[in-house]
Structures are given as structure tokens and as C-alpha cells.
Amino acid sequence: MKCIVCEEPNRFEMKEVPVPTPGPGEALIRIRRIGICGTDLHAYRGNQPYFVYPRVLGHELAAEITQIDDNEYGLTAGDPVCVIPYVHCGTCIACRNGKTNCCTKMSVIGVHQDGGMREYMTVPVRHLVKTEGLTPEQAAIVECYSIGAHSVRVAGIRPGDWVMVIGAGPIGLGTMKFAKLAGARVIAMDMNESRLQFCKAWAQADYTVNVTNNPLNEVADITGGDYPTVVLDATGNTKSMEQALHYVAHGGKLVFVGLVKSDITFHDPDFHKREMAIMGSRNAMREDFLEVIDQIRKGSIDTGSFITHRAAFSEMIGQYESWLRPETGVIKAVVEL
């Protein structure tokens, strides 16, 4: 079978490798679509934490089961599925407390272990979710949306809350969408005006704020001087993450959805006077995947305009560099097999 390997930063190579054999508790799946994520782009450029080369990228995966034993999930050969790529141990303190998304021994497919940029792969059965009723393209972006759905759920967003999402990339957009579905009044912040317009059109953000235009005063005006009760930063940018604290209402929450390979610092009195909660939102859980699949089936999410670029598997290496350039207008690229 064909497999694309990131041999080192900025270099992919197409290889022929054997079709893997599933072990106990695993299924063999045929990859149908691969969503390209910021993690993949950062890894290709050499900027992704916890990463070693060579590595097969790809963790936003739509597939079809080709071989599987009897299992508790009722999955059978031929079923369309997406992959929960966060392989957890099941025994650590986080897993015992039901927080498998932050397992102490986490191994993410496509990051810590080889991913889905190949024709076939084996996956633990418990990490497959049936996607009947979704197209392969829709199934490939379930994981992306699940990150946002999880961050909204752990933030405890309630109807009527003022919520600001900083960063209008795919994760930020998904976060905005699920904040809206939770009944929040959403402010989108970014520095790219065309992205901000997309936030209004696609995520139905109530307000947009360009970070280059005196944003602190603008956010104060929008919220009547109260500021948002929940701020979620999905930028993965150190400066943005440090500045995000200043937008949070007294008694509010700051949630870091994006990850940066750096230290984050802030002025303690600004934090302390708010009695602010600062938390990280990591990955997602099965319930988040099921929620996303349900919302897509209901037609609550416009997946069509979200996917802006496509490439055949055989052509991906030649097109990948263009997806790194903002001027190409990429929101979500999908690879087709």
C-alpha cells in the first residue's frame, strides 16, 4: 500500500509499505479522507511539540472498516467510521476519573505514533465511531469540530453568556459554532478581516473584533463594560494567549484551546483580582464526537463551505506547501483516497 511519510521538517516522501495486520482489540480500516490540521502543518514545519521524525501524519480520518472481530460497540466490516486519535491507557489517574482526553500516557495518532496518511491502518476498536449518514468529507472533519465542542463543554458555557473566541482558524471556528449552539452571545477576534467575515457568515458570530483596532475598548463597548465571562484562545500564539487574560470578566474563565511551544506569563494582580479560572482544553472525548456527528446529521453545521481545498492522495505532496500560505485562503483542506 502507499504511505506518505514526513521524513524530516519540510520533506514528505511517498513509500510502498505492507498492509498492517490488526492485533487483539484492533480493526483494519481503509482510509477514505484525511483532514489537514494545524498540527499537521506545524509538524511539517518542525514547530510541533512532542514530535519526532520520521512520522506518518494524519489524525482527522474518515475510513471504512475492512476487518474487525465481534465487539461491544456493534461495529462490523463495511461500516463507515471516524477515528478518535487520542489513544489512552485506561488505567492512569485521568482515565480512572473519566478524563481519557488527558491521559498521562497519551499517544496521539499522527503525532506520537504513525497516523493515517496511508491507504490502510490498524486502530483500537474503542477509538472508532460509526458515522452512518455522513459523507466521507464530513466524517473527516468530525475530530476538528470535536476539539471546539469539548472546549465549550468543559468551559460550562450557558445560554446568554458573553463568550469571546480568539483565533479564526478551523479550531476557533468550531469553538465559535458550538458556543452558539450552546446559546452564547459570541464575539470572534482575529487579525484577518476576511476570516472575521467568515466567522459571521459560517459560525453566526454576533460580533467581530479585529485585534489591530483597539480591541480592549471595543470588547468593553460590546459587553457594556462587563467583558466576556468566558474567553477561549485558539491561536496557539504566545502573545495572544498572554493578552487574552485582559478580556476576561471578573469571576470569569480563560480557556486555552490552542497549544504553544513556549512559556506563558501574566501579571498576577490582573489575574488575581478577577478570581479568574484559567484552564486548558485538551483533545476531546467520545461524547464530544457523538455530539458533533449528531449536529452534522441535523444540518446544524455547514460543512460544505468549511472545506475549501481538496487534493487526491497522489497529489498531496505537491499541494501541501500551498496550504501553508494564508493568501490561498485555506480554511480546511481534505485529502481524498
Q: What tens digit of pLDDT does each residue of 212-241 get?
A: 989 999 999 999 999 999 999 999 999 999
Q: What is the pLDDT of residue 124?
A: 97
Residues 274/249, Cβ–Cβ less than 8 Å: yes
pLDDT at 42: 84
pLDDT at 172: 97
> With bands split at pLDDT 50, 70 and 90, how would you rate the model's confidence at 272?
very high
CB contact set of 302 (below 8 Å; sequence gap of 6+): 202
**Which residue from 266, 260, 208, 196 is spatially nearest to 234, judged by alpha carbons?**
260
Joined grid coordinates for residue 189:
477576534
pLDDT band at 209 (very low <50, low <70, confident <90, very high): very high
Q: Estimate the crossing angle of helix 142-155 against helix 286-298, to 10 degrees.
A: 110
- The model's pTM is 0.95
The pLDDT of residue 297: 97
Domains of the chain: 2-141+307-336 (3.90.180.10), 148-280 (3.40.50.720)
Residue 51 has pLDDT above 90, yes or no: no
The predicted model gives 119-127 an average pLDDT of: 98
**Mean pLDDT in residue range 145-158:** 97
pLDDT at 49 over 80: no
3-32 pLDDT, tens digit per residue, is 999 999 999 999 999 999 999 999 999 999
- Whole-angstrom Cα distance, residue 212 to residue 232? 18
* For range 123-134, the mean pLDDT: 97
Per-residue pLDDT band for 269 (boundaries 50, 70, 90) equals very high
| Residue 197 pLDDT level (bands cut at 50, 70, 90) | very high
Backbone angles phi and psi of 180, in degrees to 5: -65, -40
Share of the chain above pLDDT 70, in %: 100
Contact 232, 280 (CB under 8 A): no
Rounded CA-CA distance 332/108 in Å is 20
* pLDDT of 47 strictly over 90: no
Strand segments, DSSP code E, in 131-184 are: 162-166
Q: How many CB atoms lie within 10 A of CB 10?
A: 12
